[in-house]
Amino acid sequence: MKHFISAAAISLAGVAAQAETYELTMASSHPTVLPWVGQLSTLVVAETNNRLEAMGSEDRVEWTEAYGGSLYGFKDTLEAVGDGLTDAGWVGTLPGQFSVTFNRMTSLC
């Protein structure tokens, strides 16, 4: 029994060390020609795996990108994230809108 527990612990340790690949979607109701949306693609998506590697992580993110309203319309980012349509996106707000506190969040999960 002692050998079985040791073997199980060793095999579980090996499983825990395996790299994971996460499939995520980045989206916006606006096109990437707008600077604040373009940064989602050129900075966040482009740098994610570089930053993970720099931290010593073997995990990777495979991004699906959907911009220009291809998944949802203006003002619908929070609902799209909440409904699981996208994992992250740019949240458009005007000063004084109730959702302005969510503007700095990238995910509601």
The model's pLDDT over 15-54, given as tens digits with 9 standing for 90+, comes to 556 889 999 999 999 999 999 899 999 999 999 999 999 9
Contact present, 66 and 86 (Cβ < 8 Å): yes
The model's pLDDT over 64-102, given as tens digits with 9 standing for 90+, comes to 999 999 999 988 888 898 899 999 988 766 665 555 455
SS3 of 18-78: CCCEEEEEEECCCCCCCHHHHHHHHHHHHHHHHHHHHCCCCCEEEEEEECCCCCCCCCCHH
